[in-house]
Amino acid sequence: MILEDDLKACQAILKALEELEFEAIKKGVELSALVLQECVFVEEFVNQRDWTGEEIVFLDREADKGQAGSFHDLDFEKFDKDRIISISSVPDFNEDARKQGIHRVVQKDFTKMDEFEEKIEEELRGILNIT
């Protein structure tokens, strides 16, 4: 699940997923992506559902579309916190996620999206146990 409002960041995450897809399938793991670009969907959709515990969540902090709310309104207790990756470009927002018990953080830097994608792939490898 990608909670991110910026298409460039979504593209980097999807590219990392694509890079790992074949290796994941060999391990019996199918990858799919749900991209939610507006904070309102956290309250109205994500928090209202039960999840399997197998989801990987890419968590930005807020959608920059003049909306009230934040992707951090996520009900963190519905997910395995080891499978949530905080991806804000703002260090304080990633620190806020750490305070919620999230220890996987990849700081987004829009001037270094190749590095961002590589770090996302590294975190995914750790979560999926792909070496």
Query: How is the chain classified by DSSP, letter by letter?
Result: -EE-S-HHHHHHHHHHHHHHHHHHHHTT------EE-STHHIIIIITTS---S---EEE-S--TTT-SS-GGGS-GGGS-GGGEEE--SSHHHHHHHHHTT--EE----TT-HHHHHHHHHHHHHHHHT--
pTM (2 d.p.): 0.93
pLDDT band at residue 104 under the 50/70/90 scheme: very high
pLDDT tens readout for residues 31-84: 999 999 988 899 899 999 999 989 999 999 975 555 557 899 999 999 999 999
The whole-number pLDDT of residue 65 equals 55
- Calculate the average pLDDT of the chain: 93
Distance CA 47, CA 8 (A): 25
pLDDT band at residue 87 under the 50/70/90 scheme: very high
